[in-house]
Amino acid sequence: MPSRVAAVRQLRRPPTTHMPFTPADRLRHVKKSATRQLYDSAPAGSINLGLGEPDFQTPEPIRAEACRSIEQDQIGYTPNSGLPALRERIAAYHSEGLSTPYSASSVCITSGVAEALFDAMMAMANPGDEVLLPDPCYIAYPVLAEIAGARSVFYEMPAARRFGFDLASFERSLSDKTKVVFIASPSNPTGHVMSSDDLSDVAGLLAGSNVWIVTDEIYRELYYGERPHSISEYYPNTIVLSGLSKMMSMTGWRLGWAVGPEEVIRQITLMHQYVSTCASAVSQKAALAAFTSEGRGATTLMREELDRRRDVMVGAIERELGLPYVAGEGAFYVMLDISQFGPSDKVAWALLESKVITVPGGAFGSQGEGYLRLSFSIDGAQIEEGIRRIASGLKGYHTSIE
């Protein structure tokens, strides 16, 4: 007969399965992004026109500084808001064109713009506040608003106007509950760049109000005409978010920041302190090399190469597909009109069979529906092959829905 002790020990054995888990309510409506879902389901050998990152190697001076720092420095925490020397360079970079320059204490360095967006939303929006977002927009904005308990209100960047700014729609979306307005220029997913007239119209409408603007300028250095202006030149209640992911091809280094009036940056830094303590010390040290003439030169070369790839994509679309499209003046995206083939998510999923990954425009908002977002951040030969695969996929798709 087993002893009492053995019986008790038997009872204490840890259970092998866990109890059912109920996620927090704030994630109830949050799903894995369409880009990730498509990417995870793509067959081997697929061409990825869904990517939101450049394929260039990070510029050499940045990599060299990272290696030096790892070899020689004690890699500890940095101050929460980031290395003072880097904050100074970021402040100087964003002060170009401003009458009142930023100082280092107007900057909080974060783990990518993704974290800066989270920190800004949590620090600025209360439950019940209205947060104005462009439609279509980067998929994180409405999710973060939801997590903050705020209400997303969309102003249209109408597909019918080539995803351009529509002052009337913007004005209609404002109310006395509007707390924060998000602007993204150049835009993800459309690449649209807001003109200086559009920006000063927004500033004029909001003048004298206590509405704050958060402007996501992660694509500002990737443009194919005039360099985009920043709303910070026109409206003082502005927080600028930017980072090195796109302009220095440093997506994996996780380096971004928020810049603006110190009073707001202090609150964003408070949030950031409890979310991530500080951005990677190695990435911050390496980032100092981005704000040099060599760093800027590297961005110019990437921009020129992206401009060539944009021509390759547009040429291939016209030759192989003959479908309408919108190629923005910035970022690295083209919106392809596939409305004649049905809902964009069905088309994107069907195209996986032809081994090409695209992102359904509907994932970015109602104005994106009827389009696929195609990225030209991969090399020209792959872009051409990707468009050929879309052409053959759509041919089959057409017959299957007839």
Does position 276 interact with ligand PLP (CB under 6 A)? The reply is: no
Closest Cα to residue 222, out of 201, 198, 192, 251? 192
Helix axes 140-148, 112-124, angle to 10 degrees: 40
Pick 59 or 393: Cβ nearer ligand PLP: 59
Does position 52 interact with ligand PLP (CB under 6 A)? The reply is: yes
Stretch that binds ligand PLP, among 58-66, 106-114, 149-157, 381-389 (CB under 6 A): 106-114
Does position 33 interact with ligand PLP (CB under 6 A)? The reply is: no
Q: Binders of ligand PLP among 133-152, rule CB under 6 A? A: 138
Does position 216 interact with ligand PLP (CB under 6 A)? The reply is: yes
Stretch that binds ligand PLP, among 66-74, 77-85, 108-116, 364-372 (CB under 6 A): 108-116
Between CA 364 and CA 339 the distance in angstroms is 15
Stretch that binds ligand PLP, among 107-115, 200-208, 313-321, 386-394 (CB under 6 A): 107-115
CB atoms within 10 A of CB 402: 5
Does position 258 interact with ligand PLP (CB under 6 A)? The reply is: no
Q: How far is the CB of 246 from ligand PLP (least distance, A)?
A: 7
Q: Binders of ligand PLP among 164-193, rule CB under 6 A? A: 184, 188
Does position 245 interact with ligand PLP (CB under 6 A)? The reply is: yes
Pick 105 or 251: Cβ nearer ligand PLP: 251
Does position 286 interact with ligand PLP (CB under 6 A)? The reply is: no
Between CA 42 and CA 51 the distance in angstroms is 13
What's the residue count for the chain?
402
Q: How far is the CB of 8 from ligand PLP (least distance, A)?
A: 52
Between CA 27 and CA 90 the distance in angstroms is 34
Does position 256 interact with ligand PLP (CB under 6 A)? The reply is: yes
Q: How far is the CB of 256 from ligand PLP (least distance, A)?
A: 4
Does position 121 interact with ligand PLP (CB under 6 A)? The reply is: no
Task: Take residue 237 and report the two structure tokens written for it.
Answer: 């209640």
Q: How far is the CB of 114 from ligand PLP (least distance, A)?
A: 3
Pick 118 or 235: Cβ nearer ligand PLP: 118
- From the list 243, 295, 362, 370, which residue makes contact with ligand PLP (rule: CB under 6 A)? 243
Find the angle CA(199)-CA(204)-CA(206) to the nearest 5 degrees.
100
Sign of the CA dihedral with 221 first, then 225, 226, and 230 last: negative
Q: How far is CA 305 from CA 44, 216, 225, 346, in A?
A: 27, 23, 14, 32
Residue 274 CA to its chain's centroid (Å): 22
Pick 259 or 323: Cβ nearer ligand PLP: 259
Phi, psi of 94 (to 5 degrees): -85, -5
Strands (DSSP E) contained in 340-387 are 356-357, 359-360, 371-375
Pick 138 or 341: Cβ nearer ligand PLP: 138
**Which strands, in side-by-side order, build the sheet including 238-243?**
107-110, 256-259, 238-243, 212-216, 178-184, 130-135, 151-156
Does position 251 interact with ligand PLP (CB under 6 A)? The reply is: yes
Pick 9 or 36: Cβ nearer ligand PLP: 36
* DSSP-derived secondary structure for 264-289: HHHHHHHHHHHHHSSS-HHHHHHHGG
- 131, containing H or E segment: strand 130-135
Stretch that binds ligand PLP, among 38-46, 60-68, 243-251, 389-397 (CB under 6 A): 243-251
Environment class of residue 32 by beta-carbon count within 10 Å: exposed (0-12), middle (13-18) or buried (19+)? exposed
Q: How far is the CB of 139 from ligand PLP (least distance, A)?
A: 9
Does position 114 interact with ligand PLP (CB under 6 A)? The reply is: yes
* Interface positions with ligand PLP (CB under 6 A): 52, 112-114, 138, 184, 188, 216, 218, 243, 245, 251, 256
